Amino acid sequence: MGEKVLLSSLGYVGYVLEASLLVYLLRKGYARRLWEVVFYLVASLGLNGARYYTLHRYGLASPQYGYCYWTTDLLLVLAAFVVVSAFFRRACSENENMWRHVRLLLVTVLFLVLGISIISLSHHTGGIFTFFIIEFQQNLYFACLVLNTLLYLLVVKMEVADDRLGMLSCGLGIQFAGPAACLAFYYLTGGDPFARILTVFLLPLCDAGMTLTWFYAVARVPLVATVSRGARTDKIVTEGAVLHT
Amino acid sequence: MVLAVLILILSTAMFFFYFQTICQRILAKEFERDYFLAIVNANRLEFPSVRRAVEEFDSPVDYARFCMMLKCDFLALTYLLKNAANADHRYTLQDRLLMLYFQGIYFWLHIGHFLKLDEKSPILRLTSILQYFGNVVGLRVNSSGFKDLSASDYLLTL
């Protein structure tokens, strides 16, 4: 009973944080500039809304809720993959040649993950909504985590002037690393109760961690004009202020 | 099976990497001036001398003494974060995150000491967190209408 209440509270805190960040972005007029963040938040809130509707309509033990849960989870990972790709595009905005290579890498990774998961499914036929989705999600989470780490290193190495991008990327890193580790642990232990509890508690916590990091990035980190640091002058005009470097 | 083990190990390592990177990015925030100096002087905090000893002198780290000094400074600064020029008397989320980071590095310092690993790097990180806390407290005191009082005078009123 206590576990359920705590889990529901964590879930609601996560949704409130996401909704607050979305409202903040829209009110501050950042919707176009940070469309990736808005896209992910809308997708997350929408898919979670669909999940809650199914839960109340069909109940926790129903197969419909199970299908909906894993499908929405899968769509969320795919949305996160889109966000990572968009952040790569932003990081490579001044280097079209690099973007061509990165784009090829992103497509290859997606098909590779899909291929590995399908091969794995062929050994466990009949488990598309359990085994396949868990494994595909785990692999895609991990692929996104590796890609996000590459993105972060790219941002640091290329000294991308958009200071928010590094922090947004770190937020995504938290969101990917926690669930990837938990899902792998869950998979390895074969659904052990401890692994299940760890997974169900850590997933919303990582979600909230990402939203808070994004909040910090949006509200506290000044958006610097997108010119490479090498080309920066002594003063760089930021949003309504002049940042001395 | 092997893939899942690899994912578990790497994901856990990356989780801590990102946690640390977020904290380091928050700590990298630049303040207009060294607000922490007034707080250090008013409260006789010792972390600047610990940092100087570690950075400037290539002598072995006095582990027990430095741990005690840093822990005492941490307790003093977290008290000030909560109570000095803070109308809510509550920590912000940022403060809590960095307090957690401090505890994590402090724990790692103990493990490093036990395993005879490098102790200087974690000690320097702990001092940078304390300096950040000092700057936050100093900035709050400075901007909360007590400008006619010195930091020590103000802190005596707490």
Give the model confidence (pLDDT) of B8-17 as tens digits: 899 899 999 9
Over residues A192-212, the mean pLDDT reads 85
Max CA pair span of chain B: 67
Number of structural domains (chain B) is: 2
What are the structural domain ranges in chain A? 2-244
Buried b (16+ CB within 10 A) or exposed e, A159-185: ebbbbbbbbbbbbbbbbbbbbbbbbbb
Closest among A9, A1, A3 to A208, alpha carbons compared: A9
Q: Are residues B38 and B78 in the same domain?
A: yes
Residue A155 above 50 pLDDT?
yes
The residue type at B153: D
Distance CA B7, CA A141 (A): 10
Residue A141 above 60 pLDDT?
yes
Q: What is the dihedral of CA A217, A222, A228, A232, to 10 degrees?
A: -160
* pLDDT band for position A226 (cuts 50, 70, 90): very low
Q: Are residues B37 and B14 in the same domain?
A: no
pLDDT digits (tens, 9 = 90+) for A32-49: 888 999 999 999 999 989
For residue A153, report the phi and psi dihedrals to the nearest 5 degrees. -65, -35
pLDDT of residue A63: 83
Q: Are residues B25 and B101 in the same domain?
A: no
Within A57-199, strands assigned E span none
Query: Comparing A192-206, B71-85, B127-141, which segment has the lowest mean pLDDT?
Result: A192-206
Cβ–Cβ gap B18/A166 under 8 Å = no
* pLDDT band for position A130 (cuts 50, 70, 90): low
Closest among B129, B18, B9, B86 to A184, alpha carbons compared: B9
How far A57 CA lies from chain B's nearest CA (Å)?
35
pLDDT of residue A60: 77
The residue segments making up the domain with residue B103 are 33-156
pLDDT of residue A125: 60
Query: Comparing A106-120, A201-215, B98-112, which segment has the lowest mean pLDDT?
Result: A106-120
pLDDT of residue A235: 39
Percent of the residues in chain B that have a pLDDT greater than 90, as a whole number: 36
Over residues A136-156, the mean pLDDT reads 85
Under 8 Å between Cβ of B84 and B136: no
pLDDT of residue B2: 83
Q: Which residue has the tokens 């033990």?
A: A61
Q: Are residues B26 and B91 in the same domain?
A: no
* pLDDT band for position A240 (cuts 50, 70, 90): very low
Q: Are residues B97 and B109 in the same domain?
A: yes
Residue B107 in contact with partner chain A when CB distance is under 8 A: no
Residue B72 in contact with partner chain A when CB distance is under 8 A: no
Cβ–Cβ gap B12/A177 under 8 Å = yes
What is the C-alpha end-to-end distance of chain B, expressed in Å?
A: 59
Distance of CA A86 to the CA centre of its chain: 12
Tokens of A81: 């993959």
Residue A30 above 80 pLDDT?
yes
For chain A, the average pLDDT equals 80
Query: Comparing A25-34, A218-227, B44-53, which segment has the lowest mean pLDDT?
Result: A218-227
Query: Comparing A63-77, A209-223, A225-239, B95-109, which segment has the lowest mean pLDDT?
Result: A225-239
pLDDT of residue A121: 65
pLDDT of residue A25: 92
Q: Are residues B5 and B39 in the same domain?
A: no
Q: Are residues B74 and B111 in the same domain?
A: yes
Over residues B52-66, the mean pLDDT reads 81
Q: Are residues B2 and B72 in the same domain?
A: no
User: What chain B residue is nearest to A143 in terms of C-alpha separation?
Assistant: B7
Q: Are residues B59 and B88 in the same domain?
A: yes
Partners of residue A185 in chain B, C-beta under 8 Å: 8
Closest among A52, A34, A43 to A167, alpha carbons compared: A34
**Neighbour-count burial of A88, counting CB atoms closer than 10 A to its CB (0-12 exposed, 13-18 middle, 19+ buried):** buried
pLDDT of residue A23: 94
pLDDT of residue A243: 37
pLDDT of residue A230: 43
Closest among B27, B50, B51, B47 to B39, alpha carbons compared: B47
CA distances for A157 relative to A57, A166, B19, angstroms: 50, 11, 20
Over residues A210-220, the mean pLDDT reads 89
Residue A238 above 50 pLDDT?
no
Q: Are residues B146 and B91 in the same domain?
A: yes
For residue A244, report the phi and psi dihedrals to the nearest 5 degrees. -85, 130
Residue A56 above 70 pLDDT?
yes
CA distances for B42 relative to B21, B38, B75, B148, B154, angstroms: 31, 6, 15, 15, 9
Kindly report each contact of residues A18-24 with a partner whose C-beta sits within 8 Å and lies 24 or more positions away, as own/partner: A18/A44, A18/A45, A18/A207, A18/A211, A19/A45, A20/A215, A21/A211, A21/A214, A21/A215, A21/A218, A24/A215, A24/A218, A24/A219
Tokens of B46: 């010792």
pTM for the complete prediction? 0.81
How far A177 CA lies from chain B's nearest CA (Å)?
5
- Which residues, 6+ apart, have CB-to-CB distance to A140 below 8 Å? A77, A78, A81, A110, A113
pLDDT of residue A231: 43
In chain B, helix, strand, coil percent, each to 5?
A: 75, 0, 25
pLDDT of residue B101: 94
Q: How would CATH label the architecture of A2-244?
A: Up-down Bundle (1.20)
User: What chain A residue is nearest to B14 in terms of C-alpha separation?
Assistant: A177
Q: Are residues B101 and B116 in the same domain?
A: yes
Q: Are residues B39 and B26 in the same domain?
A: no
Q: Which residue has the higher pLDDT, B120 or A163?
A: B120
Tokens of A73: 């989870």
Residue A119 above 80 pLDDT?
no
Residue A114 above 90 pLDDT?
no
Cβ–Cβ gap B21/A178 under 8 Å = no
